[in-house]
A = this chain, B = another copy of it.
Amino acid sequence: MRTMREIELEGHIIDSLIMTKVFDKIMDMNGEFEVLTFDIGKRKTDPSYARLMVIGKDDEHVDRIISELHRLGARLPEMEDVELAPAPADRVVPKGFYSTTNHPTHVRIHKNEWLSVENIEMDCLIVVENTKALCKPLAMIKKGDQVAIGKKGIRVVPPERPRGRSIFEFMGGKTSSERPSETLISQIAEEIKEIKKKGGKIAVVAGPAIIHTGAAPSLAKMIKKGYVDVLLAGNALAVHDIEYDMYGTSLGMNIENAELVSEGHKNHIYAISEIIRAGSIAKAVEQKIIKGGIMYECVKKNIPFVLAGSIRDDGPLPDVVTDVMTAQDAIRRAIKDVDMVLMMATMLHSIATGNCLSSYVKTICIDINPATVTKLMDRGTAQAIGIVTDVGTFLPMLGEKLLQ
């Protein structure tokens, strides 16, 4: 039997494309709608408000539609408290569990109290503990956790599209290899300086191609000059950075003249072995085994780093977190309050980091492979830009613009 239910939309619903997405979704799902109220913001700074009647062929149909609209930021006016159900066992979900978006989210308890969900990230569960609402990945769910189910009493607030003269605005979430590279790099440098001026935090996710392409000194300098607050990488980045510092090579290739060094293929194993002997990267810095480079600057400046293990690793270095779930959690904690993430030349670590980010964190993805950039942007945040370029020329140019 034909059913209808009201929903509300509020905020910059036009500018952020929310209204369009809502109309689209209803029609895509073969539902219908009537617009009951539509108070459009007269100026671009005014919020808008709309009430729609959503019409479906039966209760279940309307339910399914509203469930999708909810993820887009729509809410039911006759708001109730969030519904909770206990997790039946460790890492087992209760039926009908609410799966999070990466947008800021709030849950209602005690009739009129709204809790902001802490550490929101995508594809997780919401657990309410006393006066706190926590976003937890499946792996952290414990038996008996009070898990949010359905969508009553849950509000999602998608971020507005950035507006103004920022690079995040005019790049509009698009990737391109045919934009003015030097101009974009200048603008990224401006963004970085702006964030640091405001006391914001910047995380860098970095792949080993940074070393192979000769860009390590630029990144090391950026760290030294205070532009990096967290470093996320794998064993290979650290190994080749240390190999380069100790022997001048990366995977046996002399970075200064691009020639393969005799016996150079052993250098990375020697480098790992030396750090194992020293006990850790920090101890190797202390013992002056490592005298420069990316890891050296991190140690010297007390910049936290996470070296997450992967099945490709040689060694690995003693600092590498070899359990992937422990590593994932270390990444999660490391990026907790960053304002911007610069992802360069690694798909694995960038996706892992992107998975843990809220939608309001600014993201910049740099890779030579357009498919990698597209993949990162897809799961990206609201303010994301992607540049298909060569990290070996990008980083030196960025370094120069930053240090001007």
A18 to B221, CA, bound (A): 44
Given A40-B38, A277-B92, A324-B324: A262 touches B68 (CB 8 Å cut-off): yes
* Contacting residues of chain A (285-338) with chain B, CB-CB under 8 angstroms: 308-316, 322-328, 331
Contact of A262 among B67, B161, B256, B325 (CB under 8 A): B67
Enumerate the 5 nearest inter-chain pairs by beta-carbon distance, A residue then B residue, closest first.
A181-B392, A180-B214, A393-B393, A389-B390, A311-B352
Segment from A73-81, A127-135, A266-274 that makes contact with B: A266-274
Contacts of A277 in B (CB 8 A): 88-89, 92
Contacting residues, chain B, for A309 (C-beta < 8 A): 323-325
Query: Roughly how many angstroms separate A167 CA and B23 CA in the complex, as a whole number?
Result: 20
Determine whether A394 belongs to the interface, using a CB cutoff of 8 Å to chain B.
Answer: yes
**Chain B positions within 8 Å of A374 at CB level:** 370
Q: Is the CB of A182 within 8 A of B314?
A: no
Among B138, B163, B255, B269, point to the contact of A180 (Cβ < 8 A): B255
Number of copies of chain A assembled together: 4
Mask of A70-94 contacts with B, CB within 8 angstroms, 1/0 = 0000000000000000001111110
CA distance A270 to B43 in the complex (A): 35
Residues of A within 8 A of B (CB): 14-15, 17, 19-20, 23-24, 26-29, 32-35, 38, 40, 42-44, 64-65, 67-68, 88-93, 97, 99, 123, 137-139, 161, 163, 167, 169-171, 177-185, 187, 209, 212-215, 250, 253, 255-260, 262-263, 265-266, 269-270, 272-273, 276-277, 308-316, 322-328, 331, 347-349, 351-352, 355, 368-371, 374, 388-390, 392-394, 396-397
A80: shortest Cβ distance to chain B, in Å? 20
9 A–B contacts, CB within 8 A, in A order: A14-B23, A33-B42, A34-B42, A177-B368, A180-B212, A180-B255, A311-B327, A313-B328, A370-B371
Chain B residue contacts of A389, Cβ below 8 A = 368, 389-390, 392-393
Residues of B within 8 A of A93 (CB): 269-270, 273
- A180 touching B97 in the complex, CB below 8 Å, given contacts A170-B259, A312-B352, A371-B370: no
Given contacts A137-B314, A163-B27, A315-B138, contact A266 B99 (CB under 8 A): yes
Q: Which residues of B contact A393 (CB under 8 A)?
A: 181-182, 185, 389-390, 393-394, 397
Report the bound CA distance from A258 to B213 in whole Å: 27
Most chain B beta carbons < 10 A, residue from A64, A137, A328 = A328
Cβ of B43 and Cβ of A32 under 8 Å apart?
yes
Q: Given contacts A19-B14, A138-B315, is CB(A262)–CB(B349) below 8 Å? A: no
Residue of B nearest to A40 (CB): B35
Contact A178-B212, Cβ < 8 Å, known A273-B138, A312-B351, A368-B368: yes
- The CA of A335 and the CA of B331, in the complex, are separated in Å by 32
A278 (CB) vs chain B CBs: closest residue: B92
Extra contacts besides A99-B269, A368-B389 (7): CB < 8 Å: A28-B169, A181-B214, A182-B393, A185-B393, A310-B311, A322-B325, A396-B397
CB pair A138 B42 closer than 8 Å:
no
A328–B355 touching, CB < 8 Å: no
Question: In the bound complex, do residue B258 and residue A179 qualify as a contact, i.e. CB atoms below 8 Å apart?
Answer: yes
Contact B38 A213 (CB under 8 A): no
Using known A-B contacts A258-B179, A393-B393, determine if residue A266 contacts B97 with beta carbons closer than 8 Å.
yes
Q: CA separation between A257 and B253, bound complex, in Å?
A: 38
Complex: chain B residue closest to A184, CB-CB: B258
Q: Which B residue sits closest to A250, measured CB to CB?
A: B180
> Contact: B214 with A182, CB < 8 Å?
yes
Give the shortest distance, in Å, between A51 (CB) and chain B (any CB). 12
